[in-house]
Structure 1
Amino acid sequence: MPAPLPAPTFDAGAAYPEVNDLRKALDAADWPAVQALFADRDPALHTLLVREAGDHVGSGAFLHHVYDDDPTDQLAGTLHGTHLICDGWRIRSADRARHVSRSQFDQFHEHLRRAEQVLIDVTARYPDDPSAWTERLAIARGLELGQSEARRRYDRLAHHHPHHLPAQTSLLQQLCPKWSGDWDRMFAFARECARTAPDGAPNAVLIADAHLERWLDIDDDQESADYLAQPAVIDEIAQAAERSVLHPAFTHGAGWVWVRSTFALMLCLTDQWAAAATQFTALGNLGSKYPWNYVGGVDGFTEYRAEAYAKGGQS
């Protein structure tokens, strides 16, 4: 009998040990330790850690206190603003708008407006801060500031960091019809980011992400199956994988679990089982909430992995 496959975990701390260190520092309200964890990080890891700090339940009062002590502190402002954003989204919930109460929306928007005031100051003082600009993209979406304003914010960031994937992922969401965008602009942006990124960079995942968003928007089962069966869709996802996760220059930098997870799912959905199996092998027991939350979470990951290994010939 083959050995049982490891149960997947979607905990970021399992993939990135810095996340566990950050959580401990936040729980201990140890600001010097928090500062040390952010020192000299590359932009992708810095942004990942900012979001993890912002999403860490229970650290809001501590981060607010640190910010109040020195409102000019770049990191303190970024973390406090991000925590306000995350708290706001928790209040709003992930439900569709019609299921969100007026009170929830009011509190959500109030949190985002407060975060905006903090992060405006951060980006004014430090215009090359990729994490603060990335979070301001989330604010633009939540406050429905429009496509032009979101693009303006992205362009300000891209002037300093032209291949910053967290920001590109955020803008891709903004460009979806569900946020008042359209499919043509979404795909054009994803393709441009993939085309201009170096070979082996993770940015081509935006192609897979764009097709995932398009597929999720189709309500009819036959139409959704037909979409995934199109040769142009299959080929584009395959080529994006070749430029990124299947390229020898691809490395496990910040965000790699989400990148491989997205390709694993889209390669499964387009019946490219051997390529999907290579992604599950690289992931081991690691996964990310997105995109697996769209297909059953941990159970979906487990089921697709088993099918990829059965049909793709790997384990």
Structure 2
Amino acid sequence: MSLASSLPPPDFEVTSAHPEVAWLRQTVAAWDWEGVRQYLAGLPQGTDPSFVFRTVAEVEGVEEVLREMVAAAPDDVFALTLLGAREIEIGWEARTDSRAERVTREQFATFHAHLRTAEQLLIRATAIDPSYALAWAERLNTARGLQLGQNEARRRYDRLAKHHPHHFTAQARLLQQLCPKWGGSWEAAHSFARDGMLGAPEGTLNAGLVAEAHIEHWLDLSAGRERNEYLGQSHVHAELVEAAERSVSHPQFRREYGWVGVQGHFAALFSLIGDTARAAAHFRALGNLASEFPWSYLGKPAEAYVRHRDAVLAHG
């Protein structure tokens, strides 16, 4: 039996990489908002806490409790932002991840209604506390979904970056906005990703933006020759090597929330390029951990992960 075939299947459960999410889910299920506040306050300085709000936003039915919280304390920035994040989550669930031409008029109407509700909540939150990064990060989602344009998205990011210049979640959200599928350009997307990498301390996740920009660009091309030619460019490979060395392959790298996705981007791209040695190093760092993104770009996520991992590790 080969090494590859003896490996376990990929594990997409976020709690496997971040056990604290299981505790967060239990805390939210108990409506223990003081516990969530204390957890946020206790995170190490420099930590991107957006995953806490994402965890809350994914809890079905939590919006009812959050609406009561906001009604009882309309100036509570924490509650306003949590409810805004949940409204965004409900909206995107209604829209689905399909391309615009496959989304029905009814789905769009529901999507936009929830995003407009979220926008009002988040406007209030950022008016009360202009330095509250979590609310600005969510407003990047509403800007994109409501198609408010590149300039408005940039304005919101700049307001956040004034207080939190290396906020990885916000940078990743703006990067999506800067891609052509949301009205941007590849020049803007790649430039922003590189600036984010060079501006952040080495060993952080920010350099992963470079890999994300490249996989988005690759996906936008016609399958086959165009994609192969794109990844075959020497500068693409060199940029990915530099980005990996400044992030997940750096000696000071810490496995912060989101590292599995960034590591996966490098594993996928080096595999697609044919740099099996580097791809293998990233797969080994992952163990069997995986995230939907980027593997959903390469087919059914679990199948894509196994196909690339097994092919890469078969080379030793």
Bin of the TM-score, shorter chain as denominator length: over 0.9
2:175 aligned with 1:172: yes
2: distance between equivalents of 1:211 and 1:274? 19
2:103 aligned with 1:104: no
Provide the aligned length of Structure 1 versus Structure 2.
312
2: distance between equivalents of 1:50 and 1:43? 16
Would the aligned equivalents of 2:48 and 2:169 in 1 still touch at CA under 8 Å?
no
| Structure 1, unpaired ranges of 5+ | none
- Partner deviation per Cα, 1:125-150 (whole Å, 9 max, x = no partner): 12222211111001000000000000
2: distance between equivalents of 1:58 and 1:9? 26
Would the aligned equivalents of 2:112 and 2:145 in 1 still touch at CA under 8 Å?
yes
Partner of 1:38: 40
Q: Choose which of 254, 259, 283 in structure 1 pairs with 2:286.
A: 283
1: distance between equivalents of 2:61 and 2:8? 31
- Partner deviation per Cα, 1:16-71 (whole Å, 9 max, x = no partner): 12211111122222222332332232564411111121122232212222222212
Partner of 2:310: 306
Deviation at 1:154, TM superposition (A): 0.3
Partner of 1:219: 222
1: distance between equivalents of 2:169 and 2:188? 18
- Partner deviation per Cα, 1:260-280 (whole Å, 9 max, x = no partner): 111111111111211111111
Partner of 1:65: 68
Q: Choose which of 25, 28, 32 in structure 1 pairs with 2:27.
A: 25
1: distance between equivalents of 2:203 and 2:46? 17
Partner of 1:294: 297
Partner of 2:8: 6
SS in 1 for 2:267: helix
Normalising by the residue count of structure 2, what TM-score does the alignment of the two structures yield? 0.95
**Amino acid paired to 2:291:** S
Normalising by the residue count of structure 1, what TM-score does the alignment of the two structures yield? 0.95
Cα 1:87–1:43 shift into 2, 3 Å? farther
**Amino acid paired to 1:148:** N
Would the aligned equivalents of 2:218 and 2:227 in 1 still touch at CA under 8 Å?
yes
1: distance between equivalents of 2:238 and 2:62? 45
2: distance between equivalents of 1:256 and 1:118? 30
Would the aligned equivalents of 2:48 and 2:168 in 1 still touch at CA under 8 Å?
no
1:139-178 superposed matches below 5 A:
139-178=142-181
| Structure 2, unpaired ranges of 5+ | none
Deviation at 1:232, TM superposition (A): 1.2
CA RMSD of aligned residues (A): 1.5
2: distance between equivalents of 1:43 and 1:245? 17
**Amino acid paired to 2:6:** P
Please identify, of 171-180 and 42-51, the stretch whose mean Cα deviation from structure 2 is larger: 42-51
1: distance between equivalents of 2:104 and 2:168? 33
Partner of 2:265: 262
